[in-house]
Amino acid sequence: MYLPIPTTPTKSARPTKNKLMNAVIFVVCMLVAVLITACGQKNADTLLASAKEYIAKKDYSSASIQLKSALQKQESGEVQYLLALSLVEIGDYVGAELQARRALLSKYDANIVYPVLAKAMFGLGDFSRIAAEFRKVTVNDSANQALILNIVGEAFLAQRQPNEALAAFDAALVKVPGEPRAKIGRARTRAATGDLTEPLKVADEILARSPNFAPALTLKADVLIAQLKPDEAIVTLSKLVEVDPFNGQARFSLISLLTANNKFDEAAKAIDAMKLAAPRDIRSGYLAGVLALRKGEPLKARDEAIKILSTMPDHPPSLVLVGAAEFQLGALSTAADYLRKAIAANPENIYARNLLIAIYLRQGEPGKAEDVLTPALKSSPADPTILRAAGEVAMANNQPKDAANYYAQALALEKNNALTQTRLAQIRLINGDTSDAVTGLEAASSLDKDQFQADLSLVALYFDKREFDKALQAVSTLEKKQPNNPLTYNVRGAVYVGKRDIRAARLSFEKALSIQPNYLPAASSLARLDLAEKNPAAAKRRYEFIIEKEPGNDGALLALAQLQILTSATDDDVVATINGAIKANPRSAQARLALIGFYTKRGNTKAAIEAAQLAAGALPTEPRVLEALGSAQLIAGDPNQAIEAFNKLIRLQPDSAAPLMRLASAQYAAKSVDDAIATLRKAIILKPDSLEAQAEIIAIQIASARVEEALKEAKTIQKSRPTEAIGFAAEGDILASQKRPADAASAYAEAIMRKPSAELVTRQYQMLVAARKQTDAASLANKWIQANPKDTTLKFQIANDFLAKKEYRDAAARYKEIVAIQPLNFGALNNLAWVLHELKDISAMSYAEKAYAIAPNNAEVLDTYGWLLHSKGEAVRGLTLLKQAASAAPTNIDARMHLAKALMAAGDKAASRKELDAVLQLSENSPLKSEAQRLLLSL
């Protein structure tokens, strides 16, 4: 800067020394400012020039570094565009989209920015937005316009919209005739519609001229995948990655294929290579999550997806991945939240829809499942996965014939799909088509050696029919397919147990363990046999062997804990074992629920609540834990705390009626009758077909002496559902509670006219007996039993009536009829044992032993078997079982009385007195009260 100085200074104008110094400083500062501005401009220009050189060399990583530095110096539309271009090439699609949009805001040339933006969005898998945003975008360069149209076509293709995709590819060919990517796009569209011959021909023709042309290699790989030639497709994709190492889509396809074909080690290596080649490509993290999910590591899969969603909350693939992971972890409501969001972002995602349908079906909400299914069924009526989902929805809606029709359509599209064939056969079996079901299962068994669901279904079918030799033949077929699978020999052992060939069963279970020494199902089967043979020590060693080899095997620890309970181990030992399982797997809901359940059964409600609170702290989003906490608080007589727990459960599962039902029970316990009824009505709104909620409202009204309201509710149901039984059955229950048996019987008759069932017939029978209409009751029973000879519900009631009247011979005859139909009905076996004991029939013990073998934890079975052993003179074993019975059912007066007598016989007066005191407290109107008083006086 030039500063004028007077040539003839006067005294007053001559600068002092300080003034001269200030002037010099001013000049220097101004010069520095000019130089800094010039240097800054020069530096930004230098960085931009350097970046362009790197781009020319295809060194996009170095270019992006220079361009980011340039942006710090000076905002520039050109720099933003070039940075977007570089980031696309290195797989940072998030950053690329951001910079491309900034370039557009800077009014940089949209003709070259739009193609880069389209590439970035395609890399993100944002197909629905691509189709919406770019289908009408035009640029002045034909090549760039063709590129955009190709990306639009591929986005439509990804959304299963072949007609729209074809139109986009045709438009690209108009812009650039013969454009290879558009030709390949057309070929891929034809492949998507089932024509694989022409697309493969197109790919081979292009590759003959240009062996390393990436889109042609991609097309060929896609066709090979469609032709079910995964190994050849992997070879093609591997070559594609070699010739185009920055092709993120190629790496994505290769890793997806490796994962889908269970080549987990190769997939993991490919993911690591992808991270090195394109460290900013979020798809590597997504693929790592998919791999983890396939390997049975849902927690790891969820974590990978959450990382992506933390920066891209609406990334559709990651939303689906985290939804699938939460589904596997059992957090169904959380999974549903993510999947609904994924479907909103990409309505054509069939996998997400199928998974959400499965969740709703598991939650017992077929109406919501149908809502999710309907759009997919319209848009993809020939998709076998959708047809299978439709079949399951139909089954949930009690429409097995429609279900069979859907599965038949799916099978017509996938003639060699063993799982579809198997499920169709199972549904035919439900429809009563036994011969077709067997034929279908046999056909499915021969389709795929790696699928053995059909073989297991055949074994189960023959087992249920007690055709054990045919079941063993089915196992032999399974063995040919799965000779090294312990499951095969575990199934064979189960058949031999049914056949009562215990020696062969043991050999089969041992064979399973020889293949896999820690195979818990076989160890558990052998342990049960050991217990049946009165060898609990051997049973215990089964689990201890596994635990010694794998101290962190929580399943084996839980099985050992269950064994300890059965063999009367101390509570401290059982708790220590369950806590060992929790320590081995702190996130195991099963282990924590086992501890809560153990304390609850022992009546230790304080410990149960403490265990549930710890579980809720460790697993705050686990619905089963919150339900267990609320239930424990309810049992402890603290309904207000239970209400709080169930409200948390409702927040976790806002679309489920089940938590509302639990809340209503707590509100009723808190004497908030109106609140309970209001909550149940909310449950009905969520699930209009919830018969349980409507029945519960009536039950509460009856218990609250609101008989008129209950009757009004029943009449309302009758009016809204005139062809259904529920309203008339409810009226019968109300009249029965009012001790109006004749009127109740008439109401039940109306219900039976609409939907005959064993339960309703049994209720009507009880009312007719109570009304002393014995002839009508007998007539009803005879007609029902003749029409339903295999049904045992009414027979059980009649047998129990004979037992109550101490008409033991008639009771025994009825129980024997039931056992002949249902050999594994432990209730009938137990009662038969008791009446035969009363008749002094020596066969009583054999029936008691059978009941115990089937239900060793049932309190009534333990009581009967223990008392018979005591009566037979096996005092020690009898006393052990009676203690278990009293512990399992502390309010069972008969069990406590039997235990008191056994303790008295053993000379343990103090323990006997304790049991008799308990009987006195429990037996206000029981005839056992006087007997207990007499026994106490004798002590």
pLDDT above 60 for 146: yes
> Is the separation of the CB atoms in 509 and 526 below 8 Å?
yes
Residue, of 416 and 590, whose pLDDT is higher: 590
Residue, of 218 and 511, whose pLDDT is higher: 511
pLDDT, position 450? 63
Burial class from Cβ neighbours inside 10 Å (0-12, 13-18, 19+) for residue 137 reads: middle
Structure tokens at 499: 């056949």
> Is the separation of the CB atoms in 900 and 919 below 8 Å?
yes
Within 10 angstroms of residue 480's Cβ, the number of other Cβ atoms is: 11
| pLDDT one-digit tens code per residue, 457-483 | 777 778 877 889 988 988 898 888 888
pLDDT, position 768? 94
Tell me the average pLDDT across 47-60: 88
Residue, of 322 and 445, whose pLDDT is higher: 322
pLDDT, position 12? 37
**Where residue 313 falls among pLDDT bands split at 50, 70, 90?**
confident
| pLDDT one-digit tens code per residue, 698-725 | 888 888 888 899 899 889 888 888 888 8
For residue 239, give Cα distances in angstroms to 167, 212, 216, 284. Answer: 31, 8, 12, 19
pLDDT, position 4? 29
| pLDDT one-digit tens code per residue, 565-604 | 888 788 899 999 999 999 988 878 889 999 999 998 888 8
Which residue's entry shows tokens 């991270």?
275
Nearest CA to 438 out of 429, 446, 447, 430 is that of 429
Which residue's entry shows tokens 């691509």?
130
Q: What is d(CA 674, CA 664) in angstroms, rounded to the nearest whole number? A: 10
pLDDT above 60 for 687: yes
> Is the separation of the CB atoms in 758 and 766 below 8 Å?
no
Of 14-23, 139-148, 745-754, 827-836, least confident by mean pLDDT is: 14-23
Kindly report the pTM of this predicted structure.
0.55
pLDDT above 50 for 42: no
pLDDT, position 447? 66
pLDDT above 90 for 663: yes
Tell me the average pLDDT across 388-399: 79
pLDDT above 80 for 415: no
> Is the separation of the CB atoms in 441 and 425 below 8 Å?
yes
Burial class from Cβ neighbours inside 10 Å (0-12, 13-18, 19+) for residue 722 reads: exposed
3-state secondary structure of 13: coil
Tell me the average pLDDT across 716-744: 89
3-state secondary structure of 614: helix
pLDDT above 70 for 70: yes
222-246 per-residue burial string, b: 16 or more CB within 10 A, e: under 16: bbbbbeeebeebbebbbbbbeebeb
Within 10 angstroms of residue 314's Cβ, the number of other Cβ atoms is: 14
Tell me the average pLDDT across 619-647: 91
> Is the separation of the CB atoms in 726 and 695 below 8 Å?
yes
pLDDT, position 398? 67
3-state secondary structure of 881: helix
Residue, of 198 and 433, whose pLDDT is higher: 198
pLDDT above 80 for 211: yes
Q: What is d(CA 272, CA 289) in angstroms, rounded to the nearest whole number? A: 13
pLDDT above 80 for 443: no
Which residue's entry shows tokens 């009941």?
851
pLDDT above 80 for 226: no
Structure tokens at 524: 């558990």
Structure tokens at 435: 């011969």
pLDDT, position 117? 93
Structure tokens at 10: 């006067």
pLDDT, position 608? 93
Instruction: Provide CB contacts within 8 A for 225, sequence distance 6+.
Output: 233, 257
For residue 244, give Cα distances in angstroms to 84, 147, 250, 292. Answer: 19, 18, 8, 27
Q: What is d(CA 676, CA 456) in angstroms, rounded to the nearest whole number? A: 45
Residue 548 identity (one-letter amino acid): E
**Where residue 633 falls among pLDDT bands split at 50, 70, 90?**
very high
Residue, of 812 and 887, whose pLDDT is higher: 812
The DSSP string of 808-864 is HHHHHHHHHHHHHH-TT-HHHHHHHHHHHHHTT-TTHHHHHHHHHHH-TT-HHHHHH
> Is the separation of the CB atoms in 86 and 116 below 8 Å?
no
Which residue's entry shows tokens 């530095």?
69
pLDDT, position 448? 61
Tell me the average pLDDT across 306-332: 87
pLDDT above 50 for 399: yes
**Where residue 72 falls among pLDDT bands split at 50, 70, 90?**
confident
The DSSP string of 173-192 is HHHSTT-HHHHHHHHHHHHH
**Where residue 444 falls among pLDDT bands split at 50, 70, 90?**
low
Q: What is d(CA 411, CA 419) in angstroms, rounded to the nearest whole number? A: 9
Nearest CA to 679 out of 620, 632, 639, 636 is that of 639
Q: What is d(CA 909, CA 863) in angstroms, rounded to the nearest whole number? A: 20
pLDDT, position 225? 77
Sign of CA dihedral 752, 753, 756, 762: positive
User: What are phi and psi for residue 136, nearest 5 degrees?
Assistant: -115, 10
> Is the separation of the CB atoms in 149 and 132 below 8 Å?
no
What is the overall mean pLDDT for the chain?
85
> Is the separation of the CB atoms in 722 and 755 below 8 Å?
no
Nearest CA to 698 out of 671, 670, 731 is that of 731
Cα-only R_g, the chain:
38
pLDDT, position 430? 65
Give residue 126's Cα distance to chain centre. Answer: 27
> Is the separation of the CB atoms in 124 and 153 below 8 Å?
no
Nearest CA to 259 out of 274, 246, 247, 277 is that of 274
> Is the separation of the CB atoms in 420 and 410 below 8 Å?
yes
pLDDT above 60 for 19: no
pLDDT, position 14? 38
Nearest CA to 281 out of 255, 243, 242 is that of 255
3-state secondary structure of 119: helix
Instruction: Provide CB contacts within 8 A for 258, sequence distance 6+.
Output: 234, 264, 266, 267, 270
